[in-house]
Structure 1
Amino acid sequence: MILNNIDFIGFSNSINVFVLVLVVVLAFILTFYAYSFYSTVSFRNKLGLMSLRILAFGILILLLANPVFERTQIVLNKPIVTILIDNSASLGANSPSWNGLESYTSVLANISQIDTELYTHQIVFFNSSIEDSANIESFQLQGAQTDIYDAIRTVLTDYSSDEIILITDGISTRGRDPLFSAQDNRTPIHTIAVGDSTLKKDVILQEVDFPRTTLINTPNTISASIRNVDITQATTLVKLFQDDTLLESKSINLNQPNSIQQVDFQIEYDSPGIYNYSIEVDSVGGEWTTLNNTRSFEITAKDDQIKILYISTELHPDVGGIRNLIQSSESFDMLTRTWIRGNQFVEGPLPTRRDTLDLVIIHGLNESLPGSVVEFIEESISSTNTLFINTPGTGSRPLNSVYGGLSIFTASEGPNRVNLQLNPSTSSSGHVVTDIPQINWSRTPLLRTNLSLSNVSERLIVLLNATDRITQQNYPAIGLTSMGSQRHSFVLFSGINNLLLTSNQSDQISFQTLFSNLITWTSTSNFDENFEVTLSENEFSANNEILVNARIVNELGLPENEATITLRLESDTEVENRTYVFRNVNSGNYQLEIPSLPIGNYKFEAIAEKSQQNLGTQLGSFTVGNTQSEFINTLRNDALLRSLAEFTQGNFIQYDKLQDINSLLTAKDPISETKSTIFQLFRSPIWFFVLILLLGIEWFLRRRVLIP
């Protein structure tokens, strides 16, 4: 419904009102005087002619007075309700309290009861992301992962919604804590808890921790975490396979219900290559599913140590923390230089050769560094991979000076921000650097920085942001870029040692892995480093498409948008190989969506070409298996859904207590949207035509009554 109203505001002109009145009076007098001499014209014709001229004069005077009006339009809209439906595989689990798809279908039948006289509703399905093609009449519970946070943020950002109804079991297997989506959100989220509410006996291969990249002749550990859910007095075997060959098996006792045990396997390589592994946990009598008993993965072995020059220009706990991390790994061979003053370093002079180095770490850039040291750092940046780490004493002037040639950002100094908390950016998903065990970002130690960035180039990939807990402003925390044949990374905060020594053991391991990955990635150089191919996951479900991303830059480090990238896929289960072509997204980014594939191990070769010239080749592999992550936990999370509803002023209800879906909704009245516009008469061309018409009629009538 639309309501319109027009109000007079006043006159907008610089002419005195008495002048306007005088002009009106004169117009009447002149008109009367002009026609008073024509005695041959009848009084009726005179009156008509005078009326036309007076009307024309009146319109001109009115336009000259410039009246201003306000047009108000009130649009009454029905509240828009977005129904966000989880279609992940965990909801397909059968139990005494929940009959999978059959129970879910009966719950969704309530959607048809929404009062369309009061509400406009839209239906959106999600699992790992929003699914535009899903249909409520034919959907299948096949989503391999669930990201509730991303689904809510997408609806809040991209959909017009006055209220949201979230139908899910509350089990999020990827992404941030869904409660973060409620921050600064004024849209009520009503939650309907569906799914299994009973604890079932199960043995779950919960997590496998392994090095994605390692070196030959270096011992490595593969750790498997096995969770026991409500099983007692049982024994099972945990097996490690390479391809189809059993390498080792270990027995564990399942005597303590609801406990987690860790099983470690030691591996070492004598030759480089890509090695495919799987860990299997033998089934135990009484467990409800074996879909969560297997995990496949791959490890890439390389044939040399990474040679690092570590230059620190300031004494700080972070220096010791990073150096200890590097020294603890046999993958790295580190040479340290600690600046004292002038050209003096504790360990001796700077090395004369840089061509043997894989990476130069620059920990701080002090304003007092002499020109010879600054020159050494600048030459390192132009010829070698570098990792810059911020310190409280770092100045923006030397930072802009040594890295200015990259043209990726401009640094400036400001007040020390000491309440910074890390959180992943959208670019972190699927990147090898952030392939780490899950971190609860809300409880990590606070960090600090004195730097702000501006003129940030799209070539700088920001993996982690630092959020000021007071102002909620985001600052780039960890970023990286590739320039020609080199890689450069930036850690733009201090407080790393607090992360590496955090009291939470699992977070401590995750941060150690994060910085090890960052050092390894930055130090890696090869023929194809201008061409990068990444997978959204390392293991995919047989029900889901496989997303492959590629990025390519030319020799100048600029995005290459005219390349053709093909991917040849080889399978151990199919005779014929498959070939796919990437589509160009923008700015040197390419993307490929491979339809769902049969279960098996796959190897691929991605080739980038331009004008029949090879720009690079990348090899990789991945595994397609049964949906696994969705069955690690199938117990409905009512606590999360209740909190989500409370934080957003919504309602929470369990599916078996839902009688009328309209009872959840709080907006009963139409939502009014008011639009106001100011307009002036003289801006409309219609008055010009009215004046011409009036004067034309007067002229025509004068001719008719023989007035010259």
Structure 2
Amino acid sequence: MDIIFQGFQSSLPLWCYVLILIVTLLLTWWSYKDITAIGDFYRNILILLRSGVFFILLLVLLNPFLKTESTYTERADILVVLDNSASTDINKNKYEGKKTYQKVLSTLNFRDSSSVDYHFFKIGIEATSTHLDSLTYDASQTDLSDAIRTINSTETNADAAILISDGIYTKGENPVFEAKESKNPIYTVGIGDTLSQKDIVVQSVSSPSTGYLNTEQSVSVNIKNNGFKGKPFQVQLQSGTDVLSQKTITPELTTGNREVSLALPLNTEGLQQFTVHVPKQQDEWTANNNMQRFSVDVQDARQQILSLAFEVHPDIRFWRSLLESDKNTDLTKRTWLGGNRFIEGNFTANSDSVDLLVFHGYPRSGIPTDIENKLSALAQQVPVIIATTPLFSAERFEEEITSLPVVVSGSWEPSSVRLSPRSQGISHPIMEIPDISYDRLPSLFAPIQNIDHAPGATTLLSSNFQGQDTDKPAMTVEERGNRRLALIGAYGWFRLPQQDNPGIRQFAENLLLNTVSWTAADPDNELLEVIPAQKTFSGSEDVVINAYLTNERGQVETDADINISVDSEDTEPRFYSMENNGSGRYKLNIGSLPQGIFSFEATAKKGSRQIATQKGEFAVAKSNAEFINTIRNDRVLQQIAAQTDGIYHPYDSLSGFWDTLNERGLLDKNEKISTSFYYLYRNIGWFLTVILLLSAEWVLRKYLSLP
């Protein structure tokens, strides 16, 4: 061992301490110079003892320190990083999973640590320290980047690292980038097999569970491809053996997923079953996973509307021509002539065949009691629109048919008015109409006296009389349980399409058709349907949620916002906005989520109006990422080795592995120097010496009878 003086650690310059030493020595000499009775011998000893104390104290204050160096040898230090992912235990071709893996470890003889110190780590979702016997071969993901970071950051002064893996990383970045920062050579050993099994899988099918006859809806299909890069194949939508629609896709990646949208025509009423099918491709491993079935409840969307006119007026012709032009409407007309007579035929009341009942006026008298009873019974069962006419009797209507969504306190006397929108009704779905200047509309006729708003009803339009807003309802709607009621208290609508301004005609048509569709729609219908692409996602898959939205009028809603919150017992709520894909379809790709049961709540809004909400659940199971791609990635392992001046070896070519490391001197014993520093003030011996010198001086002074 070598001892080397390193110097002093002091805040004052050395000459100050020399000066202090000289002063203290002079002071010691001066204190004893006049004592001559004891003789020079004892006097000099006392001076020497006290000077020694001062010298030691000053020496300790100077804080001198020494360095000691000793040379020793250490065995080579090797880091061994072992892939613990589930893909290493897959039997494929000549590679027999765990059995072959253990043979590789036995061949490399890591248990012999006589000349090498091994430090073991295992790779999964992250790299952790381990023992050779602690591998479980079941990690759900592989982060090779974290493995390389662990090699780079380990505190051990390793000579080299050995990475044993199939090179397939399912988490983190490309490990080659991390390898560029490595100071140690990394020798890679490739396990697993390079055989690719070509396959196409219809992963999932997403479609609304309900559809409407003679319409077309979108079906979203997720296709997984393995091994068909650049090779086109068809995705077919079938009903039995009939192909309803198809698309040809050409994968751009050897392995990946592709979202395909297919058009589904709904031409038959009832519960219909359909199939998404991909014809078997040449060299495909199996066709058993090339199809998925799903069902749609196809309902007849045509509205059966009964139009009852109780007087002749141009408004009635406008109403009926408008309804007859609507392809979603089957219109039945009955025009009362008096008594039991109707122009178009006998009147029969059957709620099963009527979706909406439209009253055009109602007379003060003349309708037979049996007809009124039938009308009253029908009006209690189906949605109703009351379109007033000049001879409309509100009192008689409320007595015999049903109450109006307004409060009538006297005679019904229309006046010439203009329409004015009500602020509370602007956001109502009926009012989704083109913007228009209301003062440009022709005047209509509506009562401005003896009428007021009814509790629970919504006034959409009010009357403006001679430039003053009367706040009297001209158009009111109300929901009564599972049916709806609309009162159009103004008449004279036939004047609007006669105007030169096409915007005015469009306003009238949209307003009346919106009223029909909203009133006829069932309030209990589920407007928002939110469907996770799968009930259970694997941890490696993106969580995809689809939504289908119709508005309160029963029509596809193409311009809404759907916000969704997702949470679980172990995670805080996360908030997202769904992407609008058009045609009432919305989509959200959350990305991968941790394992667990997740709840979601979706809210659909249009402006400030909330259309609908829906809650649901989906599960995220253990990741299957290790089984999606099972082809050994030789390229990654080769690049890691090349970037770090290592060498890549396949598991079946390990002969000479240790010879290579030995030739490069990585297994040689390392001569190292141990260095330590010694500080004098930390040694108690100096302080004991001071006490000993002071004690000796005191004893000698007593012996000489000095004070």
TM-score (norm 1): 0.43
Larger Rg: 2
